[in-house]
Amino acid sequence: MRSADADERSAEASLRPLSLGDYVGQVEAKRSLTTLLQAARERGEAADHLLLHGPPGLGKTTLAIAGARVRKQELYIYQCTADTRPEDLLVTPVLAESGKIAYHASPLVTAMIRGGICI
């Protein structure tokens, strides 16, 4: 049996567009992302970065997810907070089964190593 949280997450996920063509809103951001992706594809290179900014709820994450799908690249999400330190961008401490702390590459480093996208 599914939980209410699972149903809510499933409903939310189904509302997110799966491609840039399905994306509604953020016309300028979508145009910039599409232009950047096309130019990079024509040159046979990857676009290094794109900065999407604005208040919460505009669809920046959704647009980035759609861009990752277009590029067929793995997507890694890193949530920065006010207390994020520079070293947090490199390694992530994880509690291992043994009870000890193990250090893993952060989503940013993993994306760089594997050729993915980090938002």
Q: How far is CA 16 from CA 22, 57, 66, in A?
A: 9, 12, 9
pLDDT at 73: 86
Flag whether pLDDT at 100 surpasses 90: yes
Categorize the per-residue pLDDT at 7 as very low, low, confident or very high, splitting at 50, 70 and 90: very low
Flag whether pLDDT at 37 surpasses 60: yes
pLDDT at 3: 47
Q: Percentage of the chain surpassing pLDDT 70?
A: 69
Helix runs in the chain, H state only: 4-15, 27-43, 60-71, 107-114
H/E element holding 118? strand 117-118
Tens of pLDDT along 49-99? 666 777 787 777 887 788 788 778 899 988 888 888 888 888 888 888 899
Tokens found for residue 55: 């208040």
